[in-house]
Amino acid sequence: MWNIPFVPPTASEEGAAISNLYWAISILAIVFGSIVLFGAVFLAVRYRASNNDVDRSNPVDSDLRMELTWTLIPLFLALAIFGWAAKLYADIYAPREGGYYEVFVIGKQWMWHCQHPNGVRENNILTLPAGRLVRVSVISQDVIHAFSIPAFRVKRDAVPGRYNWMYFTPTKPGEYHLFCTEYCGTKHAEMIGKVRVLPEKEFQQWLESGGAGVQTASRPASLEEQGAQAFQSLGCNACHLNPNSAVKVPDLTKLYGSEVKLADGRVVKGDEDYIRESILNPAAKVRAGYDPVMPTYQGVATEEQVIQLIAYIKSLAQSSNGGN
């Protein structure tokens, strides 16, 4: 849109749509504000005490048509704005099935840690492809932060203990501000960074070069592969996916996306949040038919490792479903 000072750049599809809504609301506010202001000034001048040129007999004290007009027009306008805004909100925050490029963002005092599916990591900078739908999966390692990119008109709370998502499509290559917009301690104001949008082809090259911008011989381990390593280093493999395990453990190869029957009779979905909770607090939702014998990995597995383990467990389910 036009280059208006004090307005952040608009660099995503959603940002452009939100800007249109913003200007529509601003114009409505100016139009209605002007009608009221000029009406008040006009009447104050015309009916001032010293003006004897006006007819003051027979004052109107009610008029149904007028009242309906000034009630119904604003009502319909407000409902239309609500519907329009709700649609834009859902475009960004309603869950979607696939079709996106996913990145993981972990907030911690006081930095942003970003992970790409192929294993590339970045700190306080997030590199994204232009023209592609992106899902950002946000979580916090300590207190509540908020991940905000004004140029895309998006922000999402980074909450400890749960994954939050948002979806958007960056459109213009360039560099944009990244902020924490939830007061999170002494250095909250320093918890800033950059979002870098690259054209699709450049992005692919950058991703394959391991993120450093230089071509290296060895590809970084993907999130799945890092997850498989963490699975070993944390000792998960002593029991899970071990045919000779001394204890009876649930089958992880079909966990992701399945319905999990719990010991207390509830049924939950085997999604990211369930897997995360079962790693960090295994006693919370014990699978029916199994004993609560797994130790907690709270304070042992980092949020980075949890994301890697989830990617690994997800990949197990995908390969046991025949590739997808």
Binding site for ligand CUA (CB under 6 A): 107, 110, 145, 180, 182-184, 188, 191
In the complex, minimum distance from the CB of residue 109 to ligand CUA, in angstroms, rounded to a whole number: 7
- By beta-carbon proximity to ligand CUA, the closer residue of 110 and 312 is 110
- By beta-carbon proximity to ligand CUA, the closer residue of 145 and 196 is 145
One-letter-per-residue 3-state SS of the chain: CCCCCCCCCCCEHHHHHHHHHHHHHHHHHHHHHHHHHHHHHHHHHHCCCCCCCCCCCCCCCCCHHHHHHHHHHHHHHHHHHHHHHHHHHHHHHCCCCCCCEEEEEEEECCEEEEECCCCCEEECEEEEECCCCEEEEEEECCCCEEEEEHHHCEEEEECECCCEEEEECECCCEEEEEEECCCCCCCHHHCCEEEEEECHHHHHHHHHCCCCCCCCCCCCCCHHHHHHHHHHHCCHHHCCCCCCCCCCCCCHHHCCCCEEEECCCCEEECCHHHHHHHHHCCCCCCECCCCCCCCCCCCCCCHHHHHHHHHHHHHHHHHHCCCC
- By beta-carbon proximity to ligand CUA, the closer residue of 9 and 160 is 160
- By beta-carbon proximity to ligand CUA, the closer residue of 115 and 140 is 140
- By beta-carbon proximity to ligand CUA, the closer residue of 107 and 210 is 107
In the complex, minimum distance from the CB of residue 178 to ligand CUA, in angstroms, rounded to a whole number: 11
In the complex, minimum distance from the CB of residue 112 to ligand CUA, in angstroms, rounded to a whole number: 8
In the complex, minimum distance from the CB of residue 123 to ligand CUA, in angstroms, rounded to a whole number: 14
In the complex, minimum distance from the CB of residue 184 to ligand CUA, in angstroms, rounded to a whole number: 3
- By beta-carbon proximity to ligand CUA, the closer residue of 106 and 223 is 106
In the complex, minimum distance from the CB of residue 264 to ligand CUA, in angstroms, rounded to a whole number: 36
